[in-house]
Structure 1
């Protein structure tokens, strides 16, 4: 079967899978159905169609005959057309949508001037902000609800994010903003929790020479003497950790070369010393 025929047959299958999942876990709908489509634009269109109009799975069983009504019911109120509804929505400026999107999409930061509304992917309910593809990458799309002024989905590097994934992106954005303001409380608490899972006796651990390094990922760097259950001390070793997403390592002989290269990259931009941990 030609490639384009396979692609056309994949779209209704993805929509059917999406309809089966939509009432239970919308985030599963994203990962299970839409990311299987190879074309990013068709995947985004598929996602928007299913989430805007939850479709029923087609059935081969003919509908049962409907008995005749004894009397004509009173005429029901006719809902206003979609155009009339959307005309009452508060306006959403492109600049506001771009600002909301770049807060979460780090690869779009500094590229605000390149953003434009995608007429193909937008709808009366949602504005789709698009960034042109970088070399070797795919375009980035950010869908914003026109009425609620909130992001509903992000398509980046061929993957659609919504639901819990989108919530995690919001949490990371908040953490970045707190760090930029000099507030490290949330970041350090998460880093400590991540380290506890790697250290045999967390309550016996000692730390020194701690600092936060900035970059694409905020990282806590320093030295730890993990100790042991017997109370013996093994000496201080360098470590780096970032909790969201989890990214950590403690220096050891087995991983010395990899650790050294990674340390030189992620711990090279000191932003602040951390006296207590």
Structure 2
């Protein structure tokens, strides 16, 4: 997985934290911002971090309320009736506090030992994706937005979480027999997508359900994407979208795919923080599927 690009964020502080610390630069060297400017800056920084901790596909950027209840399914997918039926759900839920603790622990050995424990537990990866990885990613975003964690803590934790997801997913894939007629998915992202956790979780779900997974956070929607699509057949193209203003870019990809005879029968799914935040903006751009959660992804992998 590609490393998160936070070059535009280093050195920027949350104004609220700066006020609490009591440390200020001399007025002569620091531009004075109005309270409105401070709020705008803070929203921009928080929005960028929310994309990094990704939970694009895990719903970290907005509450996702399920049927017959008012629970936030981003943090508590167990309140969804279908999620409750997943094998190993209770065991996966029981790991949440331990995973959060090891992600923020200064000692990196703790999350490495946690990976070994998860592999030994043999909980289905799709269950871990829905009940453990996605809620923890959402909680990381919440901790940033509530000032319980600073940018560097969240950045380190998100990187470790991606490592956990990838290691567990690949370990499970190596222990299963691949089907003869394997379905293929190609994962890609928009140019503005900085997150990688969401893409990792999506990949883990599809891989666990027998799909051949290619692409990922390194593959942007540029000419290299169309080269990959023309090289071999895929059953599904998954596009992760970070910003709502990239809806036009997604629409152009879909239009181009559907206008190309060789690949136009391939299904297309969109997801990501932008889709979670503004699902209606993506409903009529031609995508076959619009996903807002890890549970949506799991159901998609089952039925395509």
Q: Which TM-score bucket, shorter chain as reference?
A: under 0.3
More strand by share: 1
More helix by share: 2
Structure 2 length as normaliser, TM-score? 0.22
Higher relative contact order (Cα pairs below 8 Å, separated by 6+ residues): 2
Structure 1 length as normaliser, TM-score? 0.24
